[in-house]
Amino acid sequence: MSFITIRNLHASAEGREILKGVDLDIEKGEVFGLLGPNGHGKSTLLSCLMGNPRYEITEGSIKVDGTEIVGLGPDEISKLGVFYCFQNPPEVQGVVSMDFYKAAINAHREKRISLPEFYSELKGAYRAAGLPEEMMERHLNEGFSGGEKKRNEVLQMLLLKPRVAMLDEIDSGLDVDAIRSVGENINTLGQQGTTFIIVSHYARLFEEIHPTRAAVIIQGRVALTGGPELIQRVDTEGYGFLRDEYGIDISRGEKRETIEDPFAAAMRGRK
Ligand SMILES: Nc1ncnc2c1ncn2[C@@H]1O[C@H](COP(=O)(O)OP(=O)(O)O)[C@@H](O)[C@H]1O
Ligand SMILES: [Mg+2]
């Protein structure tokens, strides 16, 4: 059995099925790329791996290092060493960043971390994430720029040193230097044995981190798996080749109602 084994995973949100039978195997120490057009279920899959209660798993299994995690809450999954870098990190008013990090670290250890050790870890993580130390006193993500929020997610990953780290479009909105910094941090943790699942639309980040394999998610299923060359191909060609060469339907499954922008409608009425 693989380190992460996902079998026939079906998941719904608000009564709509989003994942329709995902099968995926990821080995320990892999840097696994998760690709796919917008809205096909990548974030939903990672949310299910983290036990997000907004998604109902109706069928299937997810095992991490032999432990079934379907049915476990995010806190329990987190204690197994799974970490999720949010695509859109939430702002948490009234919670001071460093207090939150200390609580998070302590929740993952038997004995509480000593203050000197905590400060030394924290300062090291701020340096590595490329954020000023003063930010440790600010409320979590409150008023942070898009790039700062992303770096702050990396900071938390460095502090928690997860066994499995899932990064969801961590590179979107980051400048080239920031992407390089994220890549270096991924490599550092990777050398310590962390397994990565990385969602990204661009080859740029992957060029920094030597991915092992990749899968394309289409309509809530794994449509294709391959090596690093698959990432390169998607980056240069998009997803059209899935349809042309493999006959995979890459449309968005369900038809959505188009809701007309009332402003545009009013403008047209005036003409
Ligand atoms: N909490 C939710 N409630 C309702 N629909 C959702 C929810 N989360 C995701 N979806 C829908 O599920 C589909 C897949 O979303 P997502 O997993 O975010 O896609 P991706 O990350 O591949 O862009 C989209 O159509 C999205 O609108
Ligand atoms: Mg997403």
Could you tell me the pLDDT band of residue 41, with boundaries at 50, 70 and 90?
very high
State the distance from the centre of ligand 1 to the C-alpha of 145, rounded, in angstroms: 24
Query: Is it the case that residue 255 has pLDDT exceeding 90?
Result: no
- Strands (E) across the chain are located at 4-13, 16-26, 31-35, 56-64, 67-68, 82-85, 164-168, 195-199, 213-218, 221-226
What's the pLDDT score for residue 198?
97
Query: Is it the case that residue 268 has pLDDT exceeding 70?
Result: no
Query: Parallel, antiparallel, or unpaired for β 67-68 and 195-199?
Result: unpaired
pTM attached to this predicted model: 0.91
**Angstrom distance (rounded) from CA 248 to CA 234:** 14
Q: How many domains does the chain have?
A: 1
Query: Is it the case that residue 257 has pLDDT exceeding 50?
Result: no
State the distance from the centre of ligand 1 to the C-alpha of 44, rounded, in angstroms: 6
Closest C-alpha to 33, from 173, 162, 185, 222: 222
State the distance from the centre of ligand 1 to the C-alpha of 228, rounded, in angstroms: 26
What's the pLDDT score for residue 269?
54
- Judged by its nearest atom, the ligand closest to the C-alpha of residue 216 is 1
Tell me whether residue 103 is in a domain: no
In sequence order, the 6+-apart residues with CB closer than 8 A to the CB of 132 are: 126
Tell me whether residue 211 is in a domain: yes
Could you tell me the pLDDT band of residue 258, with boundaries at 50, 70 and 90?
very low
Mean pLDDT lowest among 63-72, 137-146, 185-194, 247-256:
247-256
Query: Is it the case that residue 265 has pLDDT exceeding 70?
Result: no
Query: Is it the case that residue 121 has pLDDT exceeding 50?
Result: yes
Query: Parallel, antiparallel, or unpaired for β 213-218 and 56-64?
Result: unpaired
User: pLDDT, tens digit, for every residue of 51-85?
Assistant: 999 999 999 999 999 999 999 999 999 999 999 99
Is residue 71 within 8 Å of 58, Cβ to Cβ? no
Query: Is it the case that residue 270 has pLDDT exceeding 70?
Result: no
What's the pLDDT score for residue 157?
97
| Binding-site residues, ligand 1, Cβ < 6 A | 13-14, 16, 18, 36, 38-44, 54
Tell me whether residue 208 is in a domain: yes
- Judged by its nearest atom, the ligand closest to the C-alpha of residue 253 is 1
Could you tell me the pLDDT band of residue 86, with boundaries at 50, 70 and 90?
confident
Query: Is it the case that residue 47 has pLDDT exceeding 90?
Result: yes
**Angstrom distance (rounded) from CA 226 to CA 249:** 18
**Residue in 14, 17, 20, 43 to alter for ligand 1 test, most ligand atoms within 8 A of Cβ:** 43
Give the number of the atom of ligand 1 that is nearest the alpha carbon of residue 46: 17
Tell me whether residue 251 is in a domain: yes
Query: Which amino acid appears at position 131 of this protein?
Result: L
Query: Is it the case that residue 262 has pLDDT exceeding 60?
Result: no
State the distance from the centre of ligand 2 to the C-alpha of 196, rounded, in angstroms: 16
Tell me whether residue 237 is in a domain: yes
- Judged by its nearest atom, the ligand closest to the C-alpha of residue 37 is 1
Tell me whether residue 134 is in a domain: no
State the distance from the centre of ligand 2 to the C-alpha of 113, rounded, in angstroms: 34
Query: Is it the case that residue 195 has pLDDT exceeding 80?
Result: yes
State the distance from the centre of ligand 1 to the C-alpha of 6, rounded, in angstroms: 19
Burial of 121 (0-12, 13-18, 19+ CB in 10 A): middle
Task: Indicate which CATH number applies to the domain containing 42.
Answer: 3.40.50.300
The boundaries of the domain holding residue 15 are 4-95+161-270
Tell me whether residue 143 is in a domain: no
What's the pLDDT score for residue 93?
93
**Angstrom distance (rounded) from CA 195 to CA 64:** 11
What's the pLDDT score for residue 209?
95
Mean residue pLDDT of the chain comes to 92
Q: Whose CA is nearest to atom 24 of ligand 1?
A: 39
Could you tell me the pLDDT band of residue 264, with boundaries at 50, 70 and 90?
low
Give the number of the atom of ligand 1 that is nearest the alpha carbon of residue 252: 25
From residue 82, give the alpha-carbon distance in Å to each of 45, 79, 162: 14, 7, 6
Q: Whose CA is nearest to atom 16 of ligand 1?
A: 41
**Residue in 9, 14, 16, 18 to alter for ligand 1 test, most ligand atoms within 8 A of Cβ:** 18
Q: Whose CA is nearest to atom 19 of ligand 1?
A: 39
Query: Is it the case that residue 30 has pLDDT exceeding 70?
Result: yes
Is residue 104 within 8 Å of 159, Cβ to Cβ? yes
- Judged by its nearest atom, the ligand closest to the C-alpha of residue 88 is 2
**For the residues 190-201, what does the mean pLDDT come to?**
96
Query: Is it the case that residue 102 has pLDDT exceeding 70?
Result: yes
In sequence order, the 6+-apart residues with CB closer than 8 A to the CB of 235 are: 201, 202, 203
